């Protein structure tokens, strides 16, 4: 199947035109969990797509005559139409958030370079928007670590209209999506996609660092999902360490993560507390931080072998201000 990475960069202009056409058509779709995709697509009558939402939201296969010709032509021009005999598929999805549209990988996201957008994107973007509404001084320079589709970086740009936002990711397909999505949102001049492992490829300090990094124990080691380490927390903790050395005075980290709770114990909270206590004793004596569960029980379908030790998986937001 052709992935966005194989398509010429010129195709990005066609993807942008597809996004504009979807906006004009009043397209909306709320991204759901894999379990919901399975259930809803499995219902009678849902095997084949017959509308833009079916094809670009639910990732259903479709055929000639199911979509207006101009949308089929735009999908083709953008290099995201996969033809397999009489049945075709879009290799991208398009989901809405806060009045904007965001392209990301089709369901199921099985390719190693798949670009994530899901319910956690909404949770992260909402937490970041809430932070921006309460902080005294708007950020001038921000970074979104592990930007994926760029939705959270765009949220920062929309709520902080003078900020330059670096949207960093190790996945080049994510950088292409985030560039197109930022342009579609009208903030392509302030959101810059950069290939970087954490913040290693960019210089300087930041007034705001936001992140929804991979945080799951993932036996399939998918790069958008596998957090690494015993609890899946290596990447969230690496983001925390990076932020502690790259936040400007007065700057804030908003870190979204999941954590498997074991006998009432939260291993992410324990590891973060240890790091932050060290910093309190040392050169960052002025840190203020908070940690809260934004949902106590998500992904119960994952409480299988890799989470057999956990009683629930919570999602949390850690906020640290220097």
Ligand X SMILES: C[S@@+](CC[C@H](N)C(=O)[O-])C[C@H]1O[C@@H](n2cnc3c(N)ncnc32)[C@H](O)[C@@H]1O
| E strands in 106-205 | 141-145, 164-169, 191-195
Q: Could you tell me which residues are beta bridge partners of residue 194?
A: 168
Pairing of strands 164-169, 141-145: parallel
In this chain, which of 18, 101, 142, 145 binds ligand X, going by CB under 6 A? Answer: 145
Cβ partners under 8 Å of residue 130, min gap 6: none
Beta carbons within 10 angstroms of residue 16's beta carbon: 19
Q: Does 206 bind ligand X (CB under 6 A)?
A: no
CB of 241 to ligand X, least distance (A): 12
ω into 232 cis (within 30 of 0):
no
Residues of span 227-266 touching ligand X by CB under 6 A: 235
- Three-state DSSP state, 302: helix
Length in residues, the chain: 322
Which token pair is 193? Answer: 């996609």
Residues of span 293-322 touching ligand X by CB under 6 A: none
- Nearer to ligand X by Cβ, of 4 and 168: the residue is 168
- Nearer to ligand X by Cβ, of 81 and 182: the residue is 182
- Nearer to ligand X by Cβ, of 81 and 191: the residue is 191
- Nearer to ligand X by Cβ, of 33 and 51: the residue is 33
**How far apart, in whole angstroms, are the C-alpha atoms of residue 69 and residue 63?**
11
Q: Does 193 bind ligand X (CB under 6 A)?
A: no
In this chain, which of 57, 109, 139, 146 binds ligand X, going by CB under 6 A? Answer: 146
**Listed ranges 72-80, 89-97, 145-153, 260-268: which one lies at the site for ligand X (CB under 6 A):** 145-153
Q: Does 224 bind ligand X (CB under 6 A)?
A: yes
Query: Residue 89 in contact with residue 114, Cβ under 8 Å?
Result: no
**Listed ranges 5-13, 81-89, 91-99, 146-154: which one lies at the site for ligand X (CB under 6 A):** 146-154
**How far apart, in whole angstroms, are the C-alpha atoms of residue 124 and residue 155?**
10
Residues of span 48-107 touching ligand X by CB under 6 A: none
Q: Does 152 bind ligand X (CB under 6 A)?
A: yes
In this chain, which of 97, 103, 117, 206 binds ligand X, going by CB under 6 A? Answer: 117
| CA-wise closest residue to 59 among 34, 29, 91 | 91
In this chain, which of 182, 198, 209, 314 binds ligand X, going by CB under 6 A? Answer: 198
- Nearer to ligand X by Cβ, of 103 and 116: the residue is 116
**Listed ranges 24-32, 60-68, 142-150, 307-315: which one lies at the site for ligand X (CB under 6 A):** 142-150
| CA-wise closest residue to 111 among 169, 174, 49, 63 | 174
Q: Cα–chain-centroid distance for residue 89?
A: 23
| E strands in the chain | 81-84, 87-90, 92-97, 100-105, 141-145, 164-169, 191-195, 206-211, 247-261, 288-295, 312-321
In this chain, which of 197, 274, 278, 286 binds ligand X, going by CB under 6 A? Answer: 197
In this chain, which of 55, 156, 168, 253 binds ligand X, going by CB under 6 A? Answer: 168
CB of 149 to ligand X, least distance (A): 6
User: Under the rule (CB under 6 A), what is the footprint of ligand X?
Assistant: 116-117, 120-121, 124, 145-149, 151-152, 168-171, 174, 197-198, 212-214, 223-224, 235
């Amino acid at each position: 199947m052709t992935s966005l990475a194989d398509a010429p960069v010129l195709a990005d202009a066609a993807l942008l035109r597809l996004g504009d056409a979807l906006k004009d058509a009043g397209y909306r779709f709320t991204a759901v969990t894999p379990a919901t995709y399975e259930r809803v697509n499995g219902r009678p009558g849902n095997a084949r797509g017959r509308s833009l939402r079916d094809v670009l939201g639910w990732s259903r296969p479709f055929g000639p005559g199911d979509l207006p010709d101009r949308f089929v032509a735009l999908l083709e021009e953008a290099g995201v139409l996969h033809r397999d005999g009489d049945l075709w598929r879009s290799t991208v999805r398009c989901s809405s958030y806060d009045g904007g549209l965001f392209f990301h990988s089709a369901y199921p996201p099985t390719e190693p370079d798949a670009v994530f957008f899901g319910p956690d994107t909404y949770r992260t973007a909402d937490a970041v928007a809430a932070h921006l509404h309460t902080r005294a001084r708007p950020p001038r320079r921000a970074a979104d670590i592990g930007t994926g589709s760029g939705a959270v970086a765009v949220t920062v740009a929309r709520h902080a209209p003078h900020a330059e936002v670096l949207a960093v990711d190790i996945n080049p397909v994510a950088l292409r999506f985030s560039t197109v999505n930022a342009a579609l949102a009208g903030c392509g001049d302030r959101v810059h996609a950069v290939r970087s492992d954490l913040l290693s490829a960019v210089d300087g300090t930041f007034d705001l660092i936001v992140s929804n990094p991979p945080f799951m124990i993932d036996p399939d080691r998918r790069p958008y999902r596998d957090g690494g380490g015993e609890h899946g927390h290596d990447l969230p903790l690496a983001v925390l360490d990076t932020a502690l050395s790259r936040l400007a005075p007065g700057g804030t980290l908003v870190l979204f993560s999941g954590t498997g709770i074991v006998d009432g114990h939260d291993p992410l909270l324990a590891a973060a507390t240890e790091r932050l206590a060290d910093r309190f004793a040392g050169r960052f004596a002025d840190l203020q931080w908070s940690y809260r569960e934004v949902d106590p029980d998500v992904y119960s379908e994952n409480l299988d072998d890799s989470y057999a030790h956990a009683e629930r998986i919570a999602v949390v937001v850690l906020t640290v201000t220097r």
